[in-house]
């Protein structure tokens, strides 16, 4: 087992990893940009190294600086968190070539599942349900031909990434050529990979994902699913576990299929397989994220697991102690992402936090990397905190979250707390009658 972990990330996920490492008896190294010098993950790590200016390309995405920080501090493992370099197989290989342990999936497995087109091929091979789609599109003419074959509407997606970049919905043949070129440009800028592909577009799907935990000895568990349908511009806003939309028999079927797919592709570490659910309740494979997810706490709360600790132990060669029959969801958990943004325009709201009081009480967890007096930089993602509510039932979890949001004080900048309250108060959300267009429809009223 390694002894010192460098965390190649920032914010709440860096602090989350530091906590897991400390409980495992491991020392930690934080890296930070110049504007993050006073961040909490820097304060709570055993050591910290400045790796560059605010621009992520010169700091958190700068591989030589991260490796140098590991070497000068004597770190023997690297945890990438989520975002930044977390799904970059080349970074994982560099880490390993430098005789450091990579806390994540093997690079070959990252490529097999991280590239969206290759992942579709894998998913189909193992019998996962698929939407009609294509391989990599070779030209605008190819896109037109394939779209006509599949039938409109279709969606163009980036092969090398997600998060809404390189993603275009096309409803007619006249629009597809310009959408194809725009999607390729966005994909190249966002992921350094211009490849795009097509899928049939589902108008109002639900978004359901399954949590993978696999060790290096062939042991696999599927730690339930999460409902992530409350989104804005393909960015998740509220997540919950278990999904109120999934039938028990569908869950068991997916556990069987996913276990085989993960085991036979030699995947290990954490991973999340994402699906769309159509109006009939049918699931369709979308993609796999080869990292820890932002929303992992809702699974931790209902399953009683520390997923980040499991990820670290797996990287150290440990075997899973839990079997699939022991994975039992207890109660219901909901997570709200608190962002530094104008609740009316959704424009980012950087600046100094003049007062900060996170909620507490029974069944409430807050994962955050901010504090009163800290200045939110404009250079990174706007998420400040995640509030997680856990209760015996979904109805009780909603009520507990609503109470927690009333307690949350964050002054000096604008935050999206009122949007969360509006969502929770809506009759449709309380019934579980949601889709990925829920917020769009709510704001149009």
CATH class of the 132-200 domain in this structure: alpha beta
pLDDT greater than 70 at residue 435: yes
Bridge partners of 389, per DSSP, are: 334, 364
Q: How many CA atoms lie within 13 A of 348 on its CB side?
A: 11
pLDDT greater than 70 at residue 346: yes
The whole-angstrom separation of Cα 80 and Cα 102 is: 8
Q: What is the per-residue pLDDT across 397-433, written as a single tens digit (0 to 9) for each?
A: 999 999 999 999 999 999 999 999 999 999 999 999 9
Mean pLDDT of 370-376: 97
Report, in this order, helix, strand and coil percent for the chain, each rounded to 5: 35, 25, 35
Which CATH number, 1.10.1040.50, 3.40.50.20, 3.40.30.10, 3.50.50.60, labels domain 4-103?
A: 3.40.50.20
Mean pLDDT of 107-121: 92
Mean pLDDT of 148-161: 92
pTM over 0.85: yes
Q: What is the per-residue pLDDT across 136-152, written as a single tens digit (0 to 9) for each?
A: 999 999 999 999 999 99
Mean pLDDT of 279-306: 96
> Do the Cβ atoms of 242 and 432 come closer than 8 Å?
no
> Do the Cβ atoms of 82 and 161 come closer than 8 Å?
no
pLDDT greater than 80 at residue 84: yes
pLDDT-derived band of residue 161, with 50, 70 and 90 as boundaries? confident
Return the structure tokens found at 371.
């504090």
In degrees to the nearest 10, what's the CA dihedral of 164, 442, 365, 414? 80
> Do the Cβ atoms of 413 and 207 come closer than 8 Å?
no
> Do the Cβ atoms of 102 and 87 come closer than 8 Å?
no
- Average pLDDT value for the chain: 96
pLDDT greater than 80 at residue 162: no
Per the model's pLDDT, the better-predicted residue between 76 and 203 turns out to be 76
Per the model's pLDDT, the better-predicted residue between 384 and 1 turns out to be 384
pLDDT greater than 80 at residue 163: no
Q: How far is CA 129 from the centre of its chain?
A: 22
Parts of the chain belonging to CATH 3.30.470.20? 206-443
| Topology of the domain covering 206-443 | D-amino Acid Aminotransferase; Chain A, domain 1 (3.30.470)
Return the structure tokens found at 374.
């800290």
Parts of the chain belonging to CATH 3.30.1490.20? 132-200
Confidence (pLDDT) at 116? 85
226 is catalytic: no
Parts of the chain belonging to CATH 3.40.50.20? 4-103
Selected catalytic residue, list 16, 226, 251, 291: 291
């Amino acid at each position: 087992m390694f002894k010192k972990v460098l965390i190649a990330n920032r914010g709440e996920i860096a602090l989350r990893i530091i906590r897991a490492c400390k409980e495992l008896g491991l020392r930690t190294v934080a890296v930070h940009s110049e504007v993050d010098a006073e961040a909490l993950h820097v304060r709570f790590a055993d050591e910290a190294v400045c790796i560059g200016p605010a621009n992520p390309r010169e700091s958190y995405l700068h591989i030589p600086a991260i490796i140098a920080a590991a070497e000068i501090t004597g770190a023997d493992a690297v945890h990438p968190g989520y975002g930044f370099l977390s799904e970059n197989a080349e970074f994982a290989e560099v880490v390993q070539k430098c005789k450091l342990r990579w806390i994540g999936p093997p690079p070959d497995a990252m490529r097999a599942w991280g590239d969206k087109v290759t992942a579709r091929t894998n998913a189909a091979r193992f019998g996962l349900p698929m939407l009609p789609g294509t391989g990599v599109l070779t030209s605008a003419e190819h896109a037109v031909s394939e779209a006509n074959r599949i039938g409109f509407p279709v969606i163009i997606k980036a092969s090398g990434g997600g998060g809404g970049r390189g993603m275009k919905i096309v409803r007619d043949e006249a629009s597809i050529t310009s959408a194809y070129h725009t999607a390729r440009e966005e994909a190249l800028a966002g992921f350094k990979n211009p490849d795009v592909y097509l899928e049939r577009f589902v108008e109002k799907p639900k978004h359901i994902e399954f949590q993978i935990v696999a060790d290096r000895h062939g042991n696999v568990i599927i730690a339930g699913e999460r409902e992530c349908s409350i989104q804005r511009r393909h960015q998740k806003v509220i997540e919950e576990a278990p999904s109120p939309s999934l039938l028990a028999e569908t869950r068991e079927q997916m556990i069987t299929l996913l276990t085989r797919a993960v085991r036979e592709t030699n995947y290990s570490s954490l991973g999340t397989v994402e699906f769309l659910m159509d109006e009939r309740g049918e699931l369709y494979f979308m993609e796999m994220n080869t990292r820890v997810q932002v929303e992992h706490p809702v699974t931790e709360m209902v399953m009683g697991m520390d997923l980040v600790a499991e990820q670290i132990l797996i990287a150290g060669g440990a075997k899973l102690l839990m079997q699939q029959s022991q994975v039992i969801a207890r109660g219901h958990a909901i997570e709200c992402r608190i962002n530094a943004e104008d609740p009316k325009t959704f424009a980012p709201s950087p600046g100094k936090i003049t007062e900060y009081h996170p909620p507490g009480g029974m069944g409430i967890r807050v994962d955050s990397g901010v504090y009163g007096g800290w200045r939110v930089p404009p250079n990174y993602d706007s998420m400040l905190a995640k509030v997680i509510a856990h209760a015996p039932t979904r109805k009780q979890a909603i009520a507990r979250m609503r109470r927690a949001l009333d307690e949350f004080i964050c002054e000096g900048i604008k935050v999206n707390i009122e949007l969360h309250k509006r969502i929770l108060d809506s009759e449709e959300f309380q019934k579980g009658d949601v889709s990925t267009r829920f917020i769009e429809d709510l704001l149009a009223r």
